[in-house]
Amino acid sequence: MSGRLVYPWSEALLQYRFRHDHPLDPDRLRLTYVLSDMVGLLDESVEVVEPPAATREELGLFHSAEFIDAVRACDGPDYYDRRHGIGTPDNPAFREIYEAATRYVGATLEAAKRMVQGTRMAFCISGGLHHAQRSEASGFCVFNDVVIAINYIQQERPCKVLYFDFDAHHGDGVQNAFYRTPDVLTVSVHQSGRTLFPGTGHVFEYGAGEGTGYSVNVPLSPGAGDAELIRVFNEVVIPLSKSYRPDLLVTQLGVDGHFLDPLAQLAYTSTGYEHVLRGLVELAKTCEMGWLALGGGGYHPVNVARLWTLFLALMLARDVPRDLPEEFVAMCREDGYRSFPTTFRDTGQVPQMYVSAGTVAAALDRTLARLHKEVFPYHGLA
């Protein structure tokens, strides 16, 4: 891929903080930026850009005027609007929530605008807020930067988009936004909604109207790990991408499926993620407009930082050292982090998770069989 990778970044992005004890800690963004810089990835091959906040008009590319007004009306932690999902346990209100949320959208939009202008690759670590609905905040997500960015790109340059999401949680907001159109093929691999928020993402959710067959869900059993992630990528994402032939690849790279993450029950490691990232690099080469990569979930801040830094290295066709820099490890310990990996790639054995590997594999067999029967025919695949 030619050109510099665009990397939207601003210290202002760290102000998106619901509460000090909330799982979505913006420190994971700071640590990712610091670590990527320490290992030399943010050099001349990367264009670090300071993004502006999104405008009200840009928010309206997806969200309703009523919802935008509801977020703007929030004046502090006591604000409560159940109808619009603000002031809930997942989305506590905080002062200047509107300003903070528009900065997140602005960062992803800046990457999207650069791609319309010809940039071939961007990585927005603050993006990927895939749960927000048109008129409701949900699952730590106030505004849905993913949908806004895709709508902006398609408005400026009509194209077919493949959206791939490997966050542990189903990308319901993005799926719902494009459920009736074939112009965006959404593929989400996630822990089953029977066992994890948001309770959706079942195989039978495969689109409607002209979009029938263009929403693809691969729910996994708790305990699913690298073998399942790699299999889904090889047996679902690759054949669908070859059939669909997208102009643009958009990915949500949430790492809450890692075995160290406290909010989900999957067992991915850096090995599985690396296989998928290398595959995405190759897939993006076939897309005329390239690849817009976004962050997403991940609730162990140091673990998020090392994985997203590894992802950036893979996108740049660079490598990282075996160990995290001593300076970074010392900084994390000074900041109060006590238990975290000190190597970029996982070493040792993954703890046994919940159910046997055979049970997990058998459940995926059934899911894939159903996809082949009910979804693949819409793409000319047996």
Active site residues: 170
- Bridging pattern class, strands 290-294 and 121-124: parallel
Q: Rounded to whole angstroms, how far apart are CA atoms 360 and 3?
A: 42
For the record, the structure tokens of 123 come out as 């990585």
Closest CA to 115 of 7, 209, 213, 268: 7
Using left for φ > 0, alpha for ψ between -120 and 50, and beta otherwise, residue 325 falls in beta
Residues 144 and 62 sit within 8 Å (Cβ to Cβ): yes
CA distances from 254 to 64, 208, 278 (A): 26, 27, 16
381 CB neighbour count, 10 Å cutoff? 14
Residue of 206, 140, 135 lying closest to 167 (CA atoms): 140
CA pair distance 105, 145, nearest whole angstrom: 5
In angstroms and rounded to an integer, the radius of gyration of the C-alpha atoms of the chain is 19
Alpha carbon distance, N-terminus to C-terminus of the chain:
32
**Cα separation of 320 and 122, whole Å?**
19
Three-state DSSP at 330 gives: helix
Cα gap 37→17, rounded to integer Å: 23
Contact assessment for residue 317 and residue 281, using Cβ atoms and an 8 Å cutoff: yes
- Are 219 and 202 spatial neighbours (Cβ–Cβ below 8 Å)? yes
Tokens describing residue 63: 């969200």
> In the chain, what is the greatest distance between 2 CA atoms, to the nearest angstrom?
55
Confirm if 52 and 9 have CB atoms less than 8 A apart: no
| Residue keyed to tokens 């159903």 | 370
